[in-house]
Structure 1
């Protein structure tokens, strides 16, 4: 396909608009008007040169829209009320469906809204500004277009496009929204009803594939999709629109419909698609691209894909400049651009494969390379199985989407018949879920990327060049593919995991994560680090598939935020925490630990030594000193886990429990200088473990803490230098094995 002059003019304009919108969405409004003036001047000077005038005109539009909206938000009475922390009554309209989330204070719902009326004291204002509402309850009541009367506590918003954050104290529905949103919700209910004869994750996936409704998907399944590079299937995008449009237009063409009827049907399909799938960034981009393509057909010209994408970017960012930095929009545009630019030539290079197979390989490779830096910035991981997983699931996506939509529509008329296409959709979705589960379980499914995400830009470019040269060499391409598969599957490493393990300090960077095996494949896990990938990798390498007890010593991010990696593919029997709480992890039951408690898991006994029984919920600034301290007895050896206790809390621990003797000491707070030297003497360990990240900004472990341990003759093992460290029993004595 040869790019036209129009392509060469629109694409740079789209890039300029995107960069400008991304920058201005984080700046004060007056910057936008500076850009308007500068772009208008450039356009006026170069109005005879379209390559200069057209981008300048686009920049004027996007900057003006950005500045106008940011200024309106800044001047809004809602913004001023939020700065005062006022409690108000308001009328709001739900802008996007509510989504459930798990916060440290428990589950809740986040709802993007538009504030229409706000009352404070004796004053009432009519406004039209965006905000985000947080509320307890179920997301089912918060459907796009619904009008609510609320009483809310206002807080300042983080972004410049929203006036406030609303913490809803009470609310009630006062209107169901326009008919088109109500009708679209009926269709969405029908899609859910089409597979409600099944109650599992494949059935929950069908509404996500068809309409972007992932509310019934478990957190574990979502994490498996992320790890295997299949997350894009959970966000309705261009692929879904292409499938639906293809079915509609091919069916009408087979029936002999005229070109005008085809165009009208295509336009209505695009509108219906946006209403049912909701105007998410990826849906908006796909809809605009589809509209541009349909317009091209109307005037008798075949629009180039890159030109359609560029127009979609320009139109959407002029309408909403804040889309520029939203992950869904960025991923959607990058993936589409990669497929348009890279996939066709790569497929031609793979001519030694059958054409469908070449396309099946080229498309996910192109999309994955284009999205690599963005995905790494969001997840901190680089998936090594993404291309394999996408190739395997590709044949199942279209049947699941088409059959799921058919089941939903039939369910509205004849529910009993909907079970037939619903079963087809469920079977196709089962294949996708199983691929995600098996792929995520592979030891090398993803690797942590420790450097800034932008460093993946040259990596992706170099990888693309290498693949370009490999594509023409079948033997070499197959060999490299098999080599990558071996790296993903990772044959067992001799000597790891070691035998007779007492405790393992997992290398999770700047954070804590410790594992005490209790039975084959089962363990107690104490803290999980900040990122999901490292703790998942550590537990996988140790062969742990069941967590008998997951203990959060306190609620700081470097101890609890990696929980999704810990539970990925694993069952948690008991979740335990202390006064500072922790995230709501799916578990059999949850318990609160205080001094004096005893827990037995298999042959391992835990004594709870801290905090005191009278400890209550604590604010964030004193979480460290409220850490749960436990002493585990494993194979006759005692291990003392001290959380992040500071010096005063360590003194209090010693006063409460004069006998703190242990063979292994988990050094408090990553070896902080805020320590009580006498604690080491009281414990008398032979081995000390420090969970710490290399070159961390806190200076951990502090020289003073290391000196205290050295003076006591304790062998110190640090995860920043030794990686994952296992303390094992050898002939009744303790030894250390590091990996």
Structure 2
């Protein structure tokens, strides 16, 4: 008679629980005001002291140890907050003072496009500051630097001297925002280790320089997290398909790189402690290559946890290492507790350690073990991260597991060969292109997976980021975590569920009640920006502005069922009106893009032209008085009449296209971002055309305070639509504008309050509804 298998020993969860306690304590120290966190931790401790005295043994000591850890983490977090909020840098920032600073650059510069051209942001620490004849030195105050494009040349690890103005920072992790007036003057170069790492990064780029644009940009992202060259549309597809972790430095990167290094060392005969030393050197080299920033250090620690989880007794070692890693990271950098990247790393690692083994064993009852593991690992990581991803992006990816499964076989070769090509390219660029070519082909596979999966009709579903919705999603994920293993063990249930999932992905998801019948115009909820769609019948729509986010605009058009776009009108080139163009061009038949007469900002105007050319869509200029028609839709171009005057506060805003639209008996005036003076001219022009009123006014400039009362009141709009982002930094819509609209007799609908705003035409006349 065979002996029964010994019962499985319960897993020791003390270390993960300790990590959770540390996380909660760090949040208390960072977020609670003043000494409130002392009460939160101290009251339970005082109440438990009698019990500790009675149980003076191991239990009592253990309780005191846990309390000490919680107090240490919370105190460390509160100390970080205090250090950032005190000292000369925040004091001068509160007074908007000018100063001469010496900054130690702590991140790579990032180029951004603003309303008036490009600018660069970079994180740094102030080591010395001189203001009003007083000099402070030996400082360590974290700041955000905003400078001109000349800052693109600064390098991580350098020290620079600048004259700047200090302003109050909104985040509690920054002592100030530094607005730079001068070009940076380098006073200390990078150290030798960072210079070597920089040369290797250049080698990676050289190794794939002969590849097409997307794989040429993807391979550096896989190796060291540099995704700066990847088109925005491709990044959006990676986000939709749950492949974004490949574009950022994550524990996966380190596991692949150090794992390959360990295999090479083992093949060379290295054993035992030698492998430990090789692994440690690999971790240090990876951190230098990917930049010694907090996110990279976090990824290195989480990757080390994953390496510990390999081999025999890996589950037990991995769970202990995870808890201790969380504790150590939060002691070193408490700000990680409020960073989404940290939460995603911890949750993904926890999902793989706690959920994946059981799901793998269940699937292995009827699948080969390698196939069971290939399915279980991405499924566990994705389920664990889903609530946080939804809170960040406002959507839940339905293709993430499948996309990761299909892309997984080439991720390791692309990463390892990309790094190998970079190392070889340091010595010989032609030789480095050999492994770089193979890495590039692997990168093309990953990109094809992202594009094709994102193009599926039901690739992702929108999910509100409100607390109640995220709580509901978390409960759903917990139920799946608890009950999925028995289902995966049954072949019939899993196969039927897989087939149903495929059908769900390839068939468009229904949107009950949306789009509403007889819709004339929809103001899409694209955040702080404008994105309007005019119904042109038969799954067609004329798009006026595209908002700042291609993914948000694409989702809105999908919900409306718009597959053909005869015309895209970009009122002007600011990012909040033209940044989402790629989302309209993606997978649709687009007739033309019509733009304003002023190519400012130049960078964004050039980007629009490049995106349209890549999609083989012609670009044309709007002409004053131009008339257009599609089906029952008619429109006339009312502005711009001429180039903005030299006294204009914002020439791009004043050069915005204005459309007078008529559809199904409803008249609409679609404003851009015109300032008050141009609105006054427009009011006179409308009077000259005999336009005494409109049914719908799309309010200019997201409801800013700069509105011409004569124009608004003179139009007598029945409905005013404001496209505006929730909790935006501009104070839009302005209270005085809302008062003006009410005085004009208009009913007001805002995208930040009701989501997509649909204007309807029916037997009863004008109606309006929101998607929320």
Range 69-78 or range 701-710, more displaced: 701-710
2:473 to 443, 456, 459: 456
Offset at 1:286?
Answer: 3.9
Deviation for aligned residue 1:135: 1.5
Aligned to 2:669: 640
> Contact 2:204/2:425 (CA < 8 Å) preserved in 1?
yes
Q: Distance in 2 between matches of 1:520 and 1:413?
A: 59
Q: For the structure 1 residues 615 and 183, does the alpha-carbon distance in structure 2 shift closer, same or farther, using more than 3 Å as the test? A: same
The answer to whether 1:384 aligns with 2:384 is no
Q: In the alignment, is residue 486 of structure 1 matched against residue 486 of structure 2?
A: no
Residue 227 to residue 296, structure 1, CA distance change in 2 (3 Å): closer
Match of 1:716 in 2: none
C-alpha distance in structure 2 between counterparts of 1:443 and 1:358, whole Å: 28
Tell me the SS of whatever aligns to 2:204: helix
Which of these residues, 130, 141, 165, is aligned with residue 129 of structure 1? 141
What residue number does 1:423 align with? 437
Distance 1:664 1:191, change over 3 A: same
Q: Is the 8 A contact 2:542 2:566 kept in 1?
A: no
Shift of 1:151: 1.4
Structure 1 residue 378: Cα displacement: 1.2
Tell me, what secondary structure is at the counterpart of 1:217?
A: coil
1:432 corresponds to which residue? 446
Distance 1:722 1:176 in 2: 51
CA distance in structure 1 between the aligned counterparts of 2:382 and 2:669, rounded to whole angstroms: 45
Match of 1:360 in 2: 374
Structure 1 partner of 2:98: 87
Aligned to 1:226: 239
Q: Cα gap change, 1:295/1:640 in structure 2, threshold over 3 Å: closer, same or farther? A: closer
Whole-angstrom CA distance in 1 between matches of 2:21 and 2:767: 60
Q: Which residue of 2 aligns with 1:714?
A: none
Question: Where do residues 140-179 of structure 1 align in structure 2 (5 Å cutoff)?
Answer: 140-170=152-182, 171-179=184-192
Could you tell me how far apart the structure 2 residues matched to 1:598 and 1:461 are? 59
2:697 maps to which residue? 667
How far did residue 212 of structure 1 move? 0.8
User: Judging changes above 3 Å, is the alpha-carbon distance between structure 1 residues 190 and 486 closer, same or farther for their aligned structure 2 residues?
Assistant: same
Within-5 A mapping of 1:324-363:
324-351=337-364, 352-363=366-377
Q: Report the Cα distance in structure 2 between the residues aligned to 1:119 and 1:653, rounded to whole angstroms.
A: 50
Q: Distance in 2 between matches of 1:364 and 1:311?
A: 24
Measured at CA, do residues 119 and 447 of structure 1 come closer, stay the same or move farther in structure 2, by a change above 3 Å? Answer: same
Are 1:274 and 2:287 matched, yes or no? yes
Tell me which moved more, 325-334 or 652-661: 652-661
What is the match of residue 190 of structure 1?
A: 203
Maintained 8 Å contact 2:252/2:303 = no
**Cα gap change, 1:175 to 1:703, in 2 (>3 Å):** closer
- The reply on whether 1:371 has 2:385 as its aligned counterpart is yes
Given candidates 551, 554, 564, the residue that maps to 2:571 is 551
Does the aligned pair in 2 maintain the 1:443–1:537 contact within 8 Å?
Answer: no
- TM alignment of 1:576-591, pairs within 5 A: 576=596, 584=604, 586-588=607-609
1:77 and 1:479, CA in 2 relative to 1: closer, same or farther beyond 3 A? same
1:473 to 490, 500, 506: 490
- Per-residue Cα deviation, 1:171-213 (whole angstroms, up to 9, x for no partner): 1222222221111111111111111122411110001001111
Unmatched tracts of structure 1, length 5 or more: 711-718
Confirm or deny that 1:542 pairs with 2:562: yes
Question: How does the TM-score come out when normalised to structure 2?
Answer: 0.78
In 1, are the aligned partners of 2:716 and 2:745 still within 8 Å (CA)?
no
Matched, 1:55 2:66: yes
Using the alignment, how far apart are the partners of 1:493 and 1:141 within structure 2?
A: 49
CA distance in 2, matches of 1:123, 1:722: 54
Q: Distance in 2 between matches of 1:616 and 1:565?
A: 34
**1:237 maps to what in 2?**
250
Confirm or deny: 8 A CA contact 1:43 1:53 kept in the other structure. Answer: no
Match for residue 117 of structure 1? 128
Tell me the SS of whatever aligns to 1:96.
coil
Residue pair 1:305, 1:340 contacting (<8 A) in 2 also: yes
* 1:539 CA displacement: 2.6
Is the deviation greater in 270-279 or in 452-461?
Answer: 452-461
CA–CA distance in structure 2, aligned partners of residues 107 and 196 of structure 1: 25
CA distance in 2: counterparts of 1:144 and 1:90, whole angstroms: 17
SS in 1 for 2:13: helix
| Other structure's SS at 1:588 match | helix
Question: Does the C-alpha gap of structure 1 residues 175 and 471 become closer, same or farther in structure 2, counting only changes over 3 Å?
Answer: same
What is the number of residues matched between the two proteins? 717
How far the C-alpha of 1:220 sits from its partner, in A, is 1.6
1:11 equivalent among 13, 16, 38 = 16
Which structure 2 residues correspond to residues 648-667 of structure 1 after superposition, within 5 A?
653-658=682-687, 659=689, 661=691, 665-667=695-697
The answer on whether the counterparts of 1:375 and 1:382 sit within 8 Å (CA) in structure 2 is: yes
User: Which moved further from structure 2: 338-347 or 24-33?
Assistant: 24-33
Tell me by how many angstroms 1:514 deviates.
Answer: 2.2
Structure 2 CA distance for aligned equivalents of residues 2 and 135 of structure 1:
60
The worse-fitting range, judged by mean Cα deviation, of 403-412 and 18-27 is 18-27
Q: Is the 8 A contact 2:713 2:743 kept in 1?
A: no
Secondary structure of the 1:279 match is: coil
> Cα distance, 1:23 vs. partner?
3.1
Pair 1:691–1:468, CA change in 2 (3 A): farther
Aligned CA-pair RMSD: 5.1
Residue deviations 1:509-552 (CA, integer Å, cap 9, x gap)? 89853235899998652244687655312334311478643235
Structure 2 portions without partners, runs of 5+: 1-6, 612-619, 748-752
